Amino acid sequence: MNPNTSTRSATVTGSVPTRPSALERLRRVDVGTALAWLVVLVAVAWALAPGLFTSADPVAGVAADALRPPDAEYPFGTDATGRDVFARVVYGSVHSLSGALIAVTVGLVAGTLIGAVAGTMGGLVEDVLMRVVDVLLAVPSLLLSLSVVIVLGFGTAQIAFAVGVAGVAAFARLARSEVVRVRATDYVEAAYAGGGRFLTVLWRHVLPNSLTAVAALAALQFGTAILAISTLGFLGYGAPPPTPEWGLMIAEGRDYVATSWWLTTLPGLVVVAVVLSANRISASIARRGRA
């Protein structure tokens, strides 16, 4: 046998890429991130179709079943008026998640617009806009949200908008830094040199390559917004009783902590699980962006 032929065969064979097996692909799966996505998807499913997960009325209760601990009939127990806590958590996701979505949308749109304009225009425009952002960052987010809520009034939509306003500065600062970084790249300079107009280059080249970090921040802010909305609801600025809302449920159960721990613990664990899952997803998006 010709040794050269054997060498060529080995070389050709070695150059053929081997597809990873199913077991290898399974090992590469980030279990923590997959679990985080599962938690968030379950919460979203609760918000979109709560009737699929419980048939109980979240507002009306059975007086005879008041303060029942968790069991097969009531997985999360009942409250002081006999209402199913699990049903209230499921229906409460509509208010908490929709509020968080509104808050993230407000912060994302307004903040990204401010940051993109500041990073692209530069000069006096950048100085003025970023000084305004610095002022917003100097005010604690909860205090800023409370100030906006006092002006707008109480309610889920109002506190969602207030939380969104508090998040504008973080989006603006990150968007501005990303736009400045992308603006200095060769392909953006080439686009301008080729006769590209300002808005065209901004839309086609600068923004698409600046949004990975902004998307990671949006996922992080989603969890932060849920926590902030629940906090404001706990303080009484959110949806009025008997509306099922996560922060309000925790507030209603604080008088029974010593005797009926499930009233605050189980809704609180749901809030913590969703917030931590959103943070894990944000970290995963950021890692993919750096890769």
- pTM for this predicted structure: 0.81
Q: State the Rg of the chain over Cα.
A: 25
User: Considering the domain boundaries, does residue 20 fall inside one?
Assistant: no
Q: Between residues 210 and 63, which one has the greater pLDDT?
A: 63
Residue 170 belongs to a domain with what CATH number?
A: 1.10.3720.10
Listed in sequence order, the residues at least 6 apart from 199 whose beta carbon sits closer than 8 Å to its beta carbon are: none
Taking each helix axis from N to C end, the angle separating 141-152 and 211-234, rounded to the nearest 10 degrees, works out to 60
Expressed as residue numbers, the domain containing 205 is 29-289
Q: Between residues 106 and 196, which one has the greater pLDDT?
A: 106
Other Cβ atoms within 10 Å of 63 Cβ, number: 8
Residue 184 is predicted with a pLDDT of 72
User: Considering the domain boundaries, does residue 244 fall inside one?
Assistant: yes
DSSP state of 208: T
User: Considering the domain boundaries, does residue 3 fall inside one?
Assistant: no
Model confidence over 150-170: pLDDT tens digits?
Answer: 898 888 899 999 999 999 999
Domain count, the chain: 1
Mean pLDDT, residues 170-185:
85
User: Considering the domain boundaries, does residue 18 fall inside one?
Assistant: no
DSSP state of 78: B
Peptide bond into 242 cis (omega under 30): yes
One-letter identity of residue 22: A
User: Considering the domain boundaries, does residue 235 fall inside one?
Assistant: yes
One-letter identity of residue 59: V
Residue 291 is predicted with a pLDDT of 59
User: Considering the domain boundaries, does residue 239 fall inside one?
Assistant: yes
Given pLDDT bands bounded at 50, 70 and 90, which one contains residue 130?
A: very high
User: Considering the domain boundaries, does residue 21 fall inside one?
Assistant: no
Residue 132 is predicted with a pLDDT of 92
Residue 216 is predicted with a pLDDT of 85
